[in-house]
Structure 1
Amino acid sequence: MQILKFGGASVRDADGVRNLEKVLQSVGTEKTLIVISAMGKTTNALEKVIEHYFNSKHELQSSIQDVKKYHNGILLELFENESHEVFKVVTALFRELSEFFDRNKSPDYSFVYDQTIGFGELISTTIVSYYLNHKGVKNKWLDVRELIKTNSYYRNAKVEWALTQSKISEAIDEKALHITQGFLGSDGNNFTTTLGREGSDYTAAIFAFCLNAKSVTIWKDVPGVLNADPRFFENPTLLDSLSYEEAIELSYYGASVIHPKTLQPLQQKEIPLYVKCFLEPKNKGTKVGKSLDLSPNVPCYILRKDQILITVSSLDFSYIVEENISHIFKLLHLYKMKVRSIQNSAISFSVCIENSYNHLEPLILQLKAKYNVRLDKAVDLYTIRHYTTDAIEEIQKNKTVLMKQITPKTVQIITK
């Protein structure tokens, strides 16, 4: 089978849904499974809904209506008749979302997040599935939560591979066209879980692994994997090919085109990954596979903004040794901090983190009980793979460098 993944930008409006059908005409629909993200900025809009649920309940229903209005606009463009069944199905999904907020008793933000956020994918796949059937492209809609089983680590769940393999193998007719959601799974109690932000790529890789797929194609609004994010860097270069190992390195440091967890299951079964532009489906894009060279061989730039640099030193000027570092990492794990870079000297230890769960304040209080602590907020972390002297100098120009770390293939620079 071929696994095709379409991101939110590719289905952000009615024209995007129509274009998805054209892409399918180009690449074929036999033995195909499609993974689709939430439409446009729906995930961000649902995060606003969650914020209102916790902090501003009088605005909750209006924020839900904003999301509904956006999707209804797309429906009205795609379907001539408002009596079409798809309108009822989408309305039922929004009713289910509102009913969750009415009955929920859990104060756990991460739990509420996962029960809410997945409606974006459920609605987008419903609209696309009905539209394709409406246009004569017969397909089967699947609820991915019945297939990908995970633990209960909400917002970053871990896949239960044996059970997932069994359920996917039983559910998929390899000859048919299937449509399902990215990003989602469910735990042992059938509560919705999510695989981490941008986890739809990972969903495609999970299906590819379980189905021994011939390929995975991720359809983006860029020509393929670029050597730099065009939002932050001028004139990026398209990479024609790169190895799994190189792609894993880039994703580890935060390259936004490929999700960090996507590549491992593909590498295990040597399933090639293609990254292509949904506006130019005939173009080659980028191929990621076994033993491929980085082509062209150019520096690759990754920027992570709004990071936090913590520097700790001993209260009595004693050395920072293994016991101290172990203690610091236990605290980082306890407060769910994502570590992006570390550096230590005789009497200090610096760590660049991402405060995804908003646990910074209790972490700092714990650290101050044992160490001197310096905190630099809103710093930028630049990573350059295959760096050159000119590349480093360009990044450092007109910036205050707080930390720099160089290895034979990679340099990391934290700036203010």
Structure 2
Amino acid sequence: MKIFKFGGASVKDAAGVQNVVSVLKEVGFNDTLIIISAMGKTTNALEKVIHCYFENKNELKAAIQELIDFHGQILTTLFPNENATASDKVKLLFEELQGFLSWNKSPNYSFVYDQVVCYGELISTTIVSEYLNSCGVKNTWIDVRDVIKTDTNYRDAGVDWQQTQTKINQQIQKNQLYITQGFLGSDQNNFTTTLGREGSDYTAAIFAYCLNAESVTIWKDVPGVLNADPRHFKETELLNQISYEEAIELAFYGASVIHPKTLQPLQRKEIPLYVKSFVSPSGNGTAVTKGHRIEPEIPCFIVKKNQVLLSLSTLDFSFMVEENISEVFKLLADHKMKVSMIQNSAISFSVCITNKYDTLAELLSILKAKFKVDCYENVSLYTIRHFNEKAINGIEQDKEILLKQVSTETVQMVVK
């Protein structure tokens, strides 16, 4: 089978959904499983719903109505003669969402997050599936939560590969077209879990691995994998081919075009990954395969914004040794801090982290009892793979460099 993944930008409105049909008719869709993300900025809108649920109940109803109106407009455009099936299914999903918010008693933010945010994908796939059927493209809609089983680490769940393999093989038959959701799974009690933000690519890799797929194609609004994010860098170039190892390195450092966990299952079975444009589906795009590490071999730029830089030293002027560093790492893990860069010397230890779960204040209060701590918030971490002097100079210009680290292939800089 082939696995296709369409992200939120590809189905951000009715025209996007119509374009998905055009892409499928152009490239073919026999023996294909399609994974679809929430439409446009729906995930952000659902995060607003969650915020209102916890912090501002007075605005909760309006936040939900905003989502109902947004999807209602798409339904009206796609089904001008009305499609009771599509509208009823979407209405039922919104009723489920409102029902959960009315009966839920759990104060666990991450649990509530996963139970709410999943409706973005459930609604988008329902609309796309019904529209494809109306266009004569017959498909089977699957609730991905029935097949991808995970642990209970809400918002960043780990996959139970054995259970998932069995359930996928039971439900998926060849010579059919399937539509399902990215990003989602379920735990042993069938509560919804999510695989981490941008986890739809990972979903594609999970299905590909379990089905021994022929290939995975991620359809995006760019011509393929670029050497830099065009939202942050003016000049970008298309990478024609990348090895699995190189792509994993880029993903590890934060390249947003491919989810960090996506590549390892594909590499294990040598399943090629293609990144192509849904605007020009006949273009070559980028191939991620076994072989030549990167072509053309040019500097690749990655930036992570809104980072936190911590610089620690001991209060008694002793060395920062294994015992101190292991204690720091345990605290980082306990507070769910994602580490992006580390650097240590005899008397200091610096770490660049992402405060994803908003636990920085608590972490600092513990660290300051044991260490001298300098904290820099809202800094940016730049990474350049295959760097040259021109590339480095371009980043350093007009910036305050707080930390710099150079290895054979990579330079990283934390800047203000």
TM-score range, shorter chain: over 0.9
Cα distance between partner residues in 2 of 1:81 and 1:355: 48
Cα distance between partner residues in 2 of 1:147 and 1:340: 32
Question: What's 1:159 paired with?
Answer: 159
In the TM superposition, what are the counterparts of 1:7-406 in structure 2 within 5 Å? 7-406=7-406
Contact 2:336 2:357 in 1 (8 A): yes
Contact 2:245 2:293 in 1 (8 A): no
Cα distance between partner residues in 2 of 1:83 and 1:203: 29
Q: Which 5+ residue runs of structure 2 have no aligned equivalent?
A: none
| Cα displacement (A) at 1:292 | 2.6
| Cα displacement (A) at 1:346 | 1.2
SS across alignment from 1:153: coil
| Cα displacement (A) at 1:81 | 2.5
TM-score with structure 2 length normalisation?
0.99
SS across alignment from 2:283: coil
SS across alignment from 2:228: coil
Cα distance between partner residues in 2 of 1:247 and 1:116: 32
Cα distance between partner residues in 2 of 1:335 and 1:83: 48
| Cα displacement (A) at 1:82 | 2.9
TM-score with structure 1 length normalisation?
0.99
After superposition, the C-alpha distances for 1:303-330 in whole angstroms (9 at most, x for unaligned) are: 0001000011111111000000000000
SS across alignment from 1:404: strand
Are residues 138 and 383 of structure 1, via their aligned partners in 2, closer, same or farther at CA, if it must alter by over 3 Å? same
SS across alignment from 1:365: helix
Cα distance between partner residues in 2 of 1:376 and 1:279: 41
After superposition, the C-alpha distances for 1:271-298 in whole angstroms (9 at most, x for unaligned) are: 0000000010000000000013311110
Cα distance between partner residues in 1 of 2:137 and 2:409: 47
After superposition, the C-alpha distances for 1:197-235 in whole angstroms (9 at most, x for unaligned) are: 000000000000000000000000000000000001012
Are residues 168 and 83 of structure 1, via their aligned partners in 2, closer, same or farther at CA, if it must alter by over 3 Å? closer
Contact 2:8 2:38 in 1 (8 A): yes
Cα distance between partner residues in 1 of 2:120 and 2:155: 15
Q: Which 5+ residue runs of structure 1 have no aligned equivalent?
A: none
Superposition RMSD in Å: 0.6
Cα distance between partner residues in 1 of 2:392 and 2:193: 40
Q: How many residues align?
A: 416
After superposition, the C-alpha distances for 1:91-125 in whole angstroms (9 at most, x for unaligned) are: 01001000000000000000000000010000000
SS across alignment from 1:249: helix
- Structure 1 segments of 4+ aligned residues over 2 angstroms from their partners: 81-84
Cα distance between partner residues in 1 of 2:345 and 2:364: 20
Aligned identity (percent) is 62
